[in-house]
Amino acid sequence: MMKNTIRLTATALLLVGGIVGCNTASNVDNTLTQGESDALEATLKAVSSLTLATNAGQAATDTDIPLAKVIETTCPTLTAVLDISSTGTLQLGIDFGSNGSCTPAWGGELPCSGSASAGVNVLQGTASVEFDELTCGDESLDGEAGLEFDWSGLVATLSGQWDLTLDSDGEQFGTDGTGDCKYELAGTTIESFEGTISSPEGSWNLKVDEELLVSQLQYGNLVPYAGQATVSGTDIRSLAVKFSTESPTGKIQVSIAGAPFFEVDVTDWL
């Protein structure tokens, strides 16, 4: 009888210990740390950077631009010159002006200024694009991208290395990594991205898990209305960030370390 009692007691302790000691996802504290909030803000700014760079950069890959001609009826104004010394590279100027009077077709009602320039090899389908204070609304983009491009009808796919800095309300946000982005007039798709994002508060790793859909024309900002990404780092827990049609209004869904998603208000970062 004593032997059976000992066996039952040991089994009960094992069960209780397993229940009490198990670190399940449902036990994760949903309170974001300051570092995690900073990482989420940097994630949104990275999406803005990639979207702006794609929207402006696609103009550099339009192979129908006449050579040595200024096209002034468009926004931005485009200038193309063939550089014979660079093995047939097309040198392209992309000018959004300086007074905020340029509202590109993809920009909705948001005026832009600043410029970009590019060296384009049409035969190889490659472009090296530099952004110089490309400003739309309250955010300004600098940086460069080394890209391969492909057009299918009115849709351009830009793939390669992105090294971007976004100035938002006086703070600098960095985006550095490889990714594939697709441009069409109705919106921009960040099909993939993996790299480093940063803010004045720190740096983190960002990976796009499900393609991010952005439409400034439809929603008036550069917050995705669909898709999912993961942001991680040494000072934060792994955060899965899910976007929906409510996200452009300031509501995103976040999962910490695999726990259930919960809503986070990001209105202050828009």
The tens digit of pLDDT for each residue in 39-74 reads: 999 999 999 999 999 999 888 776 555 444 444 546
The band of 228, judged by pLDDT with boundaries at 50, 70 and 90, is very high
Instruction: State residue 6's pLDDT score.
Output: 36
Give the largest Cα separation in the chain, rounded: 99
pLDDT at 178 over 90: yes
Instruction: State residue 174's pLDDT score.
Output: 98
Instruction: State residue 4's pLDDT score.
Output: 45
Alpha-carbon gap, residue 136 to 133, rounded angstroms:
9
For residues 246-259, give the mean pLDDT. 97
The band of 264, judged by pLDDT with boundaries at 50, 70 and 90, is very high
pLDDT at 5 over 80: no
- Cβ atoms within 10 Å, residue 21: 7
Can the peptide bond before residue 104 be classed as cis, meaning omega within 30 degrees of 0?
A: no
Highest averaged pLDDT of the listed ranges 48-52, 91-95, 110-114:
48-52
Mean pLDDT, the chain, whole residue set: 85
Alpha-carbon gap, residue 41 to 199, rounded angstroms:
9
Instruction: State residue 201's pLDDT score.
Output: 97
pLDDT at 212 over 70: yes
Q: Which residues of 233-264 are buried (b: 16+ CB within 10 A; e: fewer)?
A: beebbebbbbbeeebbbebbbbbbeebeeeeb
For residues 190-208, give the mean pLDDT. 98
Q: Which amino acid is at 111?
A: P
Provide the whole-model pTM. 0.86
For residues 171-186, give the mean pLDDT. 96
Instruction: State residue 34's pLDDT score.
Output: 97
> What does the block give as tokens for 164?
């971007």
pLDDT at 181 over 70: yes
Q: Which of 181, 169, 177 has the alpha carbon at shortest distance from 194? A: 177
Instruction: State residue 32's pLDDT score.
Output: 96
In the chain, what percentage of residues exceed pLDDT 90? 59
Instruction: State residue 88's pLDDT score.
Output: 64
- The strand pairing partners of 195, in sequence order, are 177, 206
In the chain, what percentage of residues exceed pLDDT 70? 83
pLDDT at 253 over 50: yes
For residues 70-95, give the mean pLDDT. 70
Q: Between these two residues, 144 and 85, which has the higher pLDDT value? A: 144
